[in-house]
Each structure stands twice: as C-alpha cells, then as structure tokens.
Amino acid sequence: MRHSTGTSGTTRGSTTLRWTTFMALILFPLAACDDDSPTTPPDGEQGTMEAVVQDDGGAQSPAQAWATEGSGEVSGQFEGQARVEVMVDGAWQQVSGLADMNAEAELQGGASTMGTATVEARTYDRVRVVVSNANADVDAGSEIGIGPIETSISLTIAGGGDAVIEYNQPVTVQADANTRLVLHLNSQAWLTEDALEAGAVTSAAFESAATVVVQ
C-alpha cells in the first residue's frame, strides 16, 4: 500500500509539471507581443529629429486672412534662437542637439534647417519649439496695411522672451528614419500696422499665428 501511494504522488507531480509547462508556452508569446508594441520600439533603437524654420506665406485661417487683408509684398529677415523640447511621461525634456539653435529665415519666402539630432526611437507625448531673443527686420518698401513703409524697422518678438509653439499630439520617431519638425512662422498674421507702430510683436500674436508641422 505504501508503494502504491508513492506512485500516485509521483503521477500527480508529473501531471502538474506538464500542465505548468504547457501554460508557460501559451502565455510567453502573448507577453512578448505586448512588449513589442509598435509605439515602444526595443531599447537601443534610434532615429533622427530635424528642426526647420520656414516663412512661406502659406495657408491662413479665416481670422488671419481678415487681419492681413490689404497687405502686399514684404521683405526682411527673421532672426532668433530656438530649442526643441519633447514630453516624456508627463515631463518636458530638452532635446540634446536641438538647443540654442539659430532660427533664421527670410520673411514670407525663406526657410532654413536649424539643427538635426539623434534621438531615441519611440513615441513622444508632445513636442514644442521654444523661440527666444527673436526679432523681425522689415525692409523699407514692404507693404503692410494701407501701403509701403518708408523706412526699415526692427520688431521685437515676445519682448525678447520665450514664445512657445506646441504640437499637441503624439509624435513617433521611427528607428533609422528622420522626423522633420517645421516651425511655420506665418508672419503675414503678425506683421500688422499695430506691430509697426509699437515696434514689437506680442507673445500672444506670435504664438497664435506660428505653428509646428510634423513630417
């Protein structure tokens, strides 16, 4: 009887072991699929992030079109500093390699690359471009408002402080691929007679007009 009891115990133990192994084989692929989510690439993968500033007099909202009605050809130069920040787990982080960049573009017709950096390939919650120490030098003869201006003028942007232009959707950087962030100045919306009279463009006017487009 003792011998029979031992054999039964061994049989039950072997059955339990086989069942545990069987369940592990089923669950392991499921766990692996969860870890390999497309929005969370494996550690170590990298892509590039490129920052561009552009002022091409592109599409305007109805409000911007009304504000700039009557404006004609404008020439001059936008100059300032810019940095790119990304949100990770609810906190903003500055992108190394995309800080203290020169942001320069001809008004209503120019574009330039501010910088390129290697970053972790992943999905970032949000992205923003922070512009500072900026000004717009408008050439004499530029048509703003009722007619061309007689002398050149330099307009301070946001009082020389920070102006924040945010892209408020997730941005995915794919491994071995380039993600392009284009800061559209849309100067046609903030180059107004009021700005010329004040010699400045308010932070609110600049931030409401400029946009960041992800390509």
Q: What average pLDDT does the segment 102-118 reach?
A: 97
Query: Cα separation of 178 and 56, whole Å?
Result: 22
Q: What is the DSSP string of 183-209?
A: EE--GGGT--HHHHHHTEE-HHHHHHH
Q: Is residue 20 part of a domain?
A: yes
What is the reported pLDDT for 57?
A: 61
CA angle at 180 for the pair 175 and 186, rounded to the nearest 5° = 165
Instruction: Over range 94-110, report the average pLDDT.
Output: 96
Q: Tell me how many degrees the CA angle 208-135-53 measures, rounded to the nearest 5.
A: 65
> Same domain for 10 and 51?
no
For residue 91, tell me if it sits in a domain: yes
Amino acid at 179: T
Residue at 100 is within a domain: yes
67 and 26 in one domain? no
Per the domain annotation, does 5 fall within a domain? yes
Q: Do 15 and 100 belong together in one domain? A: no
Closest to 83 (Cα-Cα) out of 92, 70, 72: 92
Structure tokens at 63: 């409000």
> Do residues 7 and 72 share a domain?
no
Q: Please report the pLDDT score of residue 17 as a whole number.
A: 44
129 plus 184 within the same structural domain: yes
Judged by average pLDDT, the poorest of 7-21, 52-66, 87-101, 159-173 is 7-21
Segment 95-104 shows an average pLDDT of 96
Residues 109 and 161 in one domain: yes
pLDDT(145) > 90: no
**Residues 26 and 73 occupy one common structural domain:** no
In this structure, is residue 4 part of a structural domain?
A: yes
Look at residue 41 and tell me if it is in a domain. no
**Lowest pLDDT segment from 135-139, 146-150, 194-198:** 146-150
The tokens of 51 are what?
A: 């920052």
Same domain, residue pair 109 and 153: yes
Which one, of 192, 113, 204, lies nearest residue 155 by Cα? 192
Shared-domain flag, residues 116 and 11: no
Say if residue 77 is in the same domain as residue 96. yes
Does residue 2 lie within any of the structural domains?
A: yes
Confidence of residue 18 (pLDDT cuts 50, 70, 90): low
The model's pTM is: 0.75
Q: Are residues 106 and 79 in the same domain?
A: yes
Give the number of domains in the chain.
2
- Domain of residue 168, residue span: 46-214
**Residues contacting 156, CB < 8 A, separation 6+:** 134, 135, 199, 200, 201
Nearest residue to 102 via CA among 76, 131, 82: 82
* pLDDT score for 43: 65
Average pLDDT, the chain: 82
**Is residue 133 domain-resident?**
yes
Evaluate if residue 193 carries a pLDDT over 80. Answer: yes
pLDDT at 54 exceeding the cut of 70: yes
pLDDT band at 66 (very low <50, low <70, confident <90, very high): very low
* 14: exposed, middle or buried (Cβ count in 10 Å: 0-12, 13-18, 19+): exposed
Rounded Cα distance between 79 and 77, Å, is: 6
Do 165 and 111 belong to one domain? yes
- Name the residue type at position 110: G
Q: Is the dihedral of CA 119, 167, 92, 94 positive or negative?
A: positive
